[in-house]
């Protein structure tokens, strides 16, 4: 068996050490919430009177979620164990740290554990009279139901939700406004991925799945959940053909429609490849006569050391969404 080759100390202690490293390197942007592995914005003054936005989930997807905490985006992020939902008490602490009197909105990725634990934290908050609302993001179109998930999985399209809600909250939106906005955004974000290799969870020590040296898998999730087809490695243009084809079927593209695009590296895929892939995506969307109004490329929602890429589209039906996407933020990683 291939030995796990990671720059870590104790495989059982990677999350606290990572969070420490992140907070110590970015103390102008985030601070640790005492007795948790959750971080909250350091700019307390500019949080005042605004609704807090809290997200989180299992670790291993860095810079998601802690890298998106800061003015204009998330108020706090809860870092669970690797690929494991954070506990309700940690989420509750993040809610309390984010509430400045106007309530807190939760952005939950659709995994059964996350949904359950965020809902328990919401109950705990409501018992302390903190108003809380939430959205469950299920943007991954690859498969219905999956390991850890009823329905569709929440993946990199969630970043569109973070960005739009964060901008609105920064501009003074109420909890009800944010709920309405989240319902407008949710059906318009969709994602699909392709993996070139599996990810190795430190405490497990071997990849969650393996692919042959010339093999890829379409539709894999960010925890290595199964996709929908394996085949031989294809050129970038062929991958784009397949993935955009799947998205086209979901959105039912019509000429002239506007889209925002995220190309997301899964952790071990160099930026060079992500830009080549984006170049092909933009060609393909131009062929479809779609207008691209926003783009983002990078390692944004990773899966540890997985090689692969995901493509997220956000159909823009209201130009104010573009303003939200472009709204200035001060985060570690957006």
User: Where along the sequence are the contacts to its own copies (CB under 8 A)?
Assistant: 2-3, 5-9, 14, 17-22, 24-26, 59-60, 62-63, 67, 196-197, 213-214, 233, 235-237, 239, 263, 267-280, 282, 295-299, 302, 304-305, 307, 309, 333
Nearest to 131 by CA among 106, 153, 113, 114: 106
Considering the candidates 61, 65, 162, 327, report the single residue annotated as catalytic: 61
Residue 280 CB, nearest distance to its own copies (Å)? 7
Owner of token pair 């139901």: 145
**Shortest Cβ 195–its own copies spacing (Å):** 11
Contact assessment for residue 53 and residue 102, using Cβ atoms and an 8 Å cutoff: no
For its own copies, give the closer residue by CB, 104 or 281. 281
Residue 135 or 239 with smaller CB distance to its own copies: 239
Least Å from the CB of residue 142 to its own copies: 17
Catalytic site includes residue 61: yes
Q: Is 223 a catalytic residue?
A: yes
Nearer Cβ to its own copies, position 170 or 305? 305
Q: Cβ closer to its own copies: 184 or 295?
A: 295
What gap in Å lies between CA 52 and CA 144, rounded to an integer?
31
| DSSP per position, 55-75 | EEEEESSTTTTGGGBSBTSBS
Catalytic member of 65, 162, 223, 327:
223
Nearer to its own copies, 103 or 308 (CB): 308
By three-state DSSP, how is residue 237 classified?
A: helix
Q: In the bound complex, what is the minimum distance in angstroms from residue 26's beta carbon to its own copies?
A: 7
Alpha helix positions (H), the chain: 14-25, 44-47, 88-98, 112-127, 158-170, 175-185, 236-251, 271-287, 320-326
Q: How far apart are CA 216 and CA 197, in angstroms?
A: 7
Helix axes 112-127, 88-98, angle to 10 degrees: 50
Asked if 67 contacts 29 with a C-beta cutoff of 8 angstroms, the reply is: no
Closest separation in Å from C-beta 103 to its own copies:
31
Closest separation between CB of residue 34 and its own copies, Å?
A: 18
How far apart (Å, rounded) are the C-alpha atoms in residues 277 and 3? 31
Q: Which is nearer to its own copies, 115 or 192 (CB)?
A: 192
- Give 215: exposed, middle or buried? Use CB within 10 Å, 0-12, 13-18, 19+: middle
Active-site residues: which are they?
61, 223
């Amino acid at each position: 068996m291939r030995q796990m080759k990671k720059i870590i100390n104790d495989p059982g202690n990677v999350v606290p050490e990572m969070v420490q490293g992140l907070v110590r390197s970015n103390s102008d942007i985030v601070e640790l919430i005492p007795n948790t592995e959750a971080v909250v914005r350091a700019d307390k003054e500019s949080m005042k009177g605004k609704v807090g936005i809290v997200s989180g989930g299992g670790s291993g997807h860095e810079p998601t979620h802690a890298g998106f905490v800061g003015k204009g985006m998330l108020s706090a992020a809860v870092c669970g164990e690797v690929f494991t939902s954070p506990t309700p008490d940690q989420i509750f602490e993040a809610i309390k740290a984010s509430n400045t009197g106007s309530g807190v909105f939760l952005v939950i990725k659709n995994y059964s554990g996350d949904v359950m634990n965020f809902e328990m934290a919401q109950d705990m908050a409501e018992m302390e009279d903190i108003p809380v609302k939430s959205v469950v993001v299920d943007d991954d179109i690859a498969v219905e139901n999956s390991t850890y998930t009823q329905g569709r999985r929440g993946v990199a399209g969630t970043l569109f939700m973070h960005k739009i809600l964060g901008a609105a909250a920064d501009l003074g939106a109420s909890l009800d406004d944010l709920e309405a906005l989240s319902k407008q955004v949710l059906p318009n974000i969709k994602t699909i991925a392709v993996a070139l290799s599996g990810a190795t969870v430190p405490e497990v020590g071997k990849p969650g799945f393996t692919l042959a040296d010339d093999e890829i898998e379409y539709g894999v999730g960010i925890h290595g959940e199964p996709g929908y087809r394996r085949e031989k490695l294809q050129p970038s243009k062929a991958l784009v053909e397949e993935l955009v084809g799947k998205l086209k079927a979901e959105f039912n593209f019509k000429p002239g429609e506007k889209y925002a695009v995220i190309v997301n590296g899964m952790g071990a895929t160099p930026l060079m490849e992500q830009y080549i892939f984006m170049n092909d995506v933009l060609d393909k969307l131009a062929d479809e006569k779609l207008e691209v109004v926003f783009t983002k490329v990078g390692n944004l929602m990773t899966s540890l050391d997985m090689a692969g890429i995901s493509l997220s589209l956000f159909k823009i039906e209201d130009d104010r969404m573009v303003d939200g996407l472009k709204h200035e933020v001060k985060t570690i990683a957006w």
